[in-house]
Homo-oligomer: A and B are copies of this chain.
Amino acid sequence: MLDLKTLEVFVWIARLGSYRAAAEKLNTTQPALTGRIQKLEARLGVTLFDRGARGATLTATGRTLLDYAERMLALRAEALRHVAADGAIQGIVRLGVSETIVHTWLPLLIERTHSTHPQVTLEIEVDTTPNLRAGLLDHRLDLAFLLGPLSDPRTVSQPLSSYPMAWVARPDLLPKGAAVDQTTLRSWPIITYPRNTRPYMAIRERLARAGEAPPRIYANASLSTIVRMALDGIGIAAIPPVLVATDLAAGRLVVLPSAVTLPPMTFTATWTLTPDRHVAEAIATLACSVAAAAPFAADLPDQ
């Protein structure tokens, strides 16, 4: 009775304010938590939560227990770090990544993770930065690789890789070697990242002209599709050239010299300040070294 697994359940329900959310966070079901907490309350002979339609809130007794529970869990985490051979880097890490990274060094990270921390299982979710951000704050994700530092006091960020952006198109789309100016760029559809992402915003801002229609931007959440569209000559892609190194080398695509520069895509590893963050931190550290060691990464697979 009063085992650490139960206390962990208890703590997460208290933190997130609902059985539902805690069940999701803990990769289990709501009834499982109900059972555990019921048994705990029965054993202690006290009520720990006030259940309402709006979730569960701690009773006074519950708050007392929360304090002890958090101290015990912190102690366990510390013990594991000091005693375990591998610093107890193990378990499931729910990792959210931007698609750009999937196509650069993510495969390498997965490989390195399995060799460096064999006990770790990665659950990878690919999404846009705003959604990843939400996932982090909901505790649906333990770690995310997203665009730009996340300036939220509940999170910690660490810089990863930075990719210069460029205008990329099929060589026959425009006269060879000519630098493209704002007007030329506005005359073609721009193919790039989805709305609400940093690159999208930057392009809109740079190509905006007072009183004129906004540039046509084909926003797309799928990088492969963006490349496909560029290869099909539909428009000018705004992406990091590193993603299409093969196509560039083969001459299927070219980087267009231009005075209109785009800010680089700067990725950070971001995680929340949960007590069990050290596994996420270890993976983030690994990601850092992988990103640094492999700046020019795998090419986009053809689809």
Interface residues of A (CB under 8 A from B): 2-5, 43-46, 61, 64-65, 68-69, 71-72, 75-76, 78-80, 82-86, 88
Contact = CB atoms under 8 A, between A and B. Distances in A.
Nearest to A68: B79
A64 to B, nearest CB: 5
A45 B90 CA distance: 12
A72 B4 CA distance: 10
Given A3-B3, A61-B83, A82-B64, A72 B69 contact: no
Given A46-B85, A85-B44, A71 B75 contact: yes
Contacts of A82: 64, 68
Contact of A5 (B3, B44, B72): B3
A71 B83 CA distance: 15
A79 B84 contact: no
Nearest 5 pairs of A and B residues by beta carbon = A45-B85, A68-B79, A44-B84, A65-B83, A3-B3
A45 B86 contact: yes
Contacts of A64: 82-83
Contacts of A85: 44-46
Contacts of A71: 75
B44 A83 contact: yes
26 contacts: A2-B79, A2-B80, A3-B3, A3-B4, A4-B4, A44-B80, A44-B83, A44-B88, A45-B84, A45-B85, A45-B86, A46-B83, A46-B85, A61-B83, A64-B82, A64-B83, A65-B79, A65-B83, A68-B78, A68-B82, A69-B79, A72-B72, A72-B75, A72-B76, A72-B79, A75-B75
Nearest to A84: B44
A49 to B, nearest CB: 13
A61 to B, nearest CB: 6
A88 B79 CA distance: 26
Contacts of A75: 68, 71-72, 75
Given A44-B83, A72-B76, 20 more contacts: A2-B4, A2-B76, A2-B79, A3-B5, A4-B4, A44-B85, A44-B88, A46-B83, A46-B84, A46-B85, A64-B82, A64-B83, A65-B79, A68-B75, A68-B76, A68-B78, A68-B83, A69-B79, A72-B79, A75-B75
Contacts of A3: 3-5
A273 to B, nearest CB: 22
Contacts of A83: 44, 46, 61, 64-65, 68
